[in-house]
Amino acid sequence: MKKDIVIKVGGSILYDHLLNINFELFKKVKEWYEQNKKEYDHIVLVVGGGGLSRNMETKVSESIKDPNGIHNIAMSVTQTNAIILASYLEDKEIFVPQTLGDAYEFLHTEKKGYMVSGGLKVGWSTDMDAAVFADALLLDRVFKVSDIDYIYDKDPKEYFEAKPIRDMTWKEYFKMFSIMPNESHTPNSHMPVDAKCSIFCNKKNIAFNVSGGKLLYEKYTLSSVMKKGTFLHS
């Protein structure tokens, strides 16, 4: 039976506040990859931009005013991050797509393969890339690992009594984050799942399992982290 998986690695955990690469996280990803490679026909890792992308966007926006140009620059950072992660995994079989067409062709023509990708379309978040790849592989969920352990009913940084939500529908998510049907992507927004992506996933019946945060330090393996978190679904 065909077995595939798409994991979104949030840019928020790729770098620390000084923009040093988080190789402790990379180590967890590599251990998971090496232990699970033979279990899957396709493994797709999608990498975000994180602090490096935000830093670059802030600097160039002082002189470059075209929103598409700025997003293109920020998107190129996610592609650099993908190359860094792919290189760290040290597997020559890994494919790093340069365009969305490259990614589609790889997923549709290779019966078995491993792909690490950054963002590939201006106007999309890397959450959206991950969701589209899941849709191409006929998967019903994406695993997202970021700086969020759970989605909470209140901001846990402000409210001590905030409670984690383990199961949440996309409609409940739309209400919590005031997402409208025609919502567009806002680069480097601080939402668990990008608004445009969440609308797409609701229509396509694709779920997101959002985990990470302090769980990355409490749990020994990436597998155990991905078993926790908030399950978002239609």
What is the full per-residue pLDDT of the chain (234 aa) written as tens digits?
A: 889 999 999 999 999 889 999 999 999 999 999 999 999 999 999 999 988 898 898 899 999 999 899 989 999 999 999 999 999 999 999 999 999 999 999 999 999 999 999 999 999 999 999 999 999 999 999 999 999 999 999 999 999 999 999 999 999 999 999 999 887 766 656 799 999 999 999 999 999 999 999 999 998 899 999 999 999 999
User: Angle CA(182)–CA(53)–CA(209) in degrees, nearest 5?
Assistant: 55
- What are the boundaries of each domain within the chain? 4-233
Q: Tell which CATH architecture fits domain 4-233.
A: 3-Layer(aba) Sandwich (3.40)
Please, what is the angle between helix 23-36 and helix 67-89, to 10°? 60
Question: What whole-number distance in Å separates Cα of residue 190 and Cα of residue 213?
Answer: 14
Question: What whole-number distance in Å separates Cα of residue 169 and Cα of residue 218?
Answer: 27
The pTM of this model reads 0.96
